[in-house]
Structure 1
Amino acid sequence: MAESLLDIAEVAERSGLAPSALRFYENRGLIASAGRNGLRRTYRPEVLDRLALIACARGAGFTIAEIARFLLATPDDTKLRAHMAEKARALEEDIARLTRMRDGLRHASTCMHEPLVECPDFKHSFRRSAALTEPSPGR
């Protein structure tokens, strides 16, 4: 079994994280080492999947505390499930906003209007984007 363990340097290289980040995640309970090989921490290969999940969650705006709670969650944790659904809705809004931005930039990259930022199609992309963040009338 020992030959299937990865030392901290290999996990760092394969995950793209610094060893200090791995130690930090371990101290926060997000990952666990399988032991030590001399002075070096060792990890089971599955830690790479856990680190990919952590990286994805961090990229989506989750805090370390939120991730730690999520990793320990059970199906009956209704409060956490509600928070996850709320976060999913927020991510959907971010994706839609970023998609509109991407589309506007793609248009601008080929548009011949002078100046580019005055192009009606380009401006329309941003008006649609801003409309989602402004409060509705009557609020």
Structure 2
Amino acid sequence: MDISEVSRRSGMPASALRYYEEKGLIVSLSEKGQRRRFAPAVLDQLSMIALGQAAGLSLDEIQTMLSPNGEPNIDRQMLAEKAADIDRQVLRLKAMSKGLKHAAQCPAPHHAQCPSFQALMKAAASGALERRWGKTRLPPLSSTTVDPKDQE
């Protein structure tokens, strides 16, 4: 298939296909300087790239899961670690949602006097610092900020 056919069938712009080829995620069958042609299996590779991106994997991480011939070479440990990261994000987001809902309905005269709002501010600051400096510098949020029923 030529690049325009791959673009049409995959829904990806030709510029993305050229970029993926440059990064080594896909390989064209054409000689340099000729119109790019790809094997039909490139559509599966593009699906795997899209799936990896949807899961939050970087292109470099995705590339490690594609063998030179384009076959999947799944790093199960990396996927398990990514799933654990997502689970931690979900817990944090649930805690933030709960805190925001409380702040919206808080009976305290001023939010500065509300212990729940103070905990929300601490959690927000911790998350902002964590994103800036990396997750190894700060401990995860205390489980006391999330109802046990929200962790299911």
| Between structures 1 and 2, the one with greater strand share | 1
Distance 2:79 2:36 in 1: 32
CA distance in 2, matches of 1:135, 1:97: 10
Q: Does 1:63 align with 2:58?
A: yes
- Give the letter for the 1:48 counterpart: L
Provide the C-alpha distance between the structure 2 equivalents of 1:134 and 1:48, rounded to a whole number of angstroms.
41
Deviation at 1:74, TM superposition (A): 5.4
CA offset digits 1:50-81 (Å, max 9, x no partner): 10110111111111110111213858xxxx43
Instruction: Give 5+ residue unaligned stretches, structure 2.
Output: 95-103, 106-122, 124-139, 145-152
Match of 1:114 in 2: none
**CA distance in structure 2 between the partners assigned to 1:85 and 1:136 by the alignment:** 21
Q: TM-score, normalised by structure 2?
A: 0.52
Paired residues of 2:92 and 2:141 also in contact (CA < 8 A) = no
User: 1:82, CA displacement in angstroms?
Assistant: 2.3
2:48 and 2:28 mapped to 1: Cα distance?
17
- Select which of 79, 82, 93 maps to 1:84: 79
Separation in 1, partners of 2:8, 2:89? 31
Q: CA offset at residue 14 of structure 1?
A: 1.1
Distance in 2 (CA, whole Å) between partners of 1:53 and 1:21 is: 14
Instruction: Mark the CA change 1:87 to 1:27 in structure 2 (over 3 Å): closer, same or farther.
Output: same
Q: How many residues align?
A: 108
Q: How does 1:10-49 map to 2 (within 5 A)?
A: 10-35=5-30, 39-49=34-44
Aligned to 2:142: 135
Q: Which runs of no fewer than 5 residues in structure 1 stay unpaired?
A: 1-5, 101-117, 120-129
- How has the CA–CA distance of structure 1 residues 95 and 45 changed in structure 2, closer, same or farther, with 3 Å as cutoff? farther
